Structure 1
Amino acid sequence: MAIIANIMRHIRNEGANDDPAASILTLFPQFLEAFADFLDYESYLSAVQSWDPAFASWQRASDEAQETMLHLQDAILDQTPHLPAEKPIKLIVYAVRMALLDEDGAQRAQFRKLIRNRGHELLVTETCDADRRINELLKRTVILFDQLLDVFSFDELEQAEA
């Protein structure tokens, strides 16, 4: 009987993702948390005036958060959006990736202008509580994205002064 129940469940879910943990909507909050942790630790480290071995734990925590964030970023970008709300999520995750790849800062001003002037266009039409929650996450991501640009710009200023 259990085999028949499993077959029936599979037929009902045919075409659906068998691994609900792999959807963009379930990966995004985890990505956002890792992104926030990474930025927090990077902000702490960028404010350090002189290096002390005591800060090594912050560096390790930053590296771990970045690794988690990049892993989740890859997982999100590998997914195909199936819902309208997943498209802006994937787009902003892609924008974060592009900003991280912009090591010399050549595009940073354009990223900042884009996110500040057009970030609101990422929001989805709110028809239910889930849409409102998605918009809250997207707004938080826009703020974190702006912080990312600030942290990396601050690093460049310090290097230029040195």
Structure 2
Amino acid sequence: MAKRGRGERGPASFQKKMAEAEFYVEFNEDMLAMGKQKSKLASWLGLQLRTKFSYHIPTNEFDKQDWEKLWSDAKVQWKIFDDGPKDVFIRKAKKNSTDRRRRTGYRGLKDNFDDRWQRLMASDSSVKKLQDKRTQLHVATRANLNKKTGLYEVNDIHEQIDNLVNK
């Protein structure tokens, strides 16, 4: 059996015995996990999302009880004693579940590239100068959908776009 490298991953990660005190997570004033266990909580959450929430069903179609069950499981597992962090926790879980569906890179983008590129050019004239298809793919993967306008935007990478145009 091949060695996995960089540590254990997947369901086996949570099969080793952890001391009772290791399942305690603290939260800051913004209700975000903090301390040395925050990464283990994040890993646990990712594992729960992959095993309990179907990849093929959009996040907004999950029943509210599914999210409530996830929160109650987290409270029991991680010794969370109040519901203060609940809203932030569920919001992060929904975002993580949604992000997991979008991570297909260039391969996934090629299916809907033309539509995305047209909506990106409609919102930002600087990208019209990009002629190379590979460069267009690079920029399109970094574009974010503005839900109000229905257009894609590249707010954070204008300097990078200018550099690409100059090349």
TM-score (norm 1): 0.32
The structure that is helix-richer by fraction is 1
Higher normalized contact order (CA 8 Å, seq sep 6+, divided by chain length): 1
Rg larger for: 2
The structure that is strand-richer by fraction is 2
TM-score (norm 2): 0.31
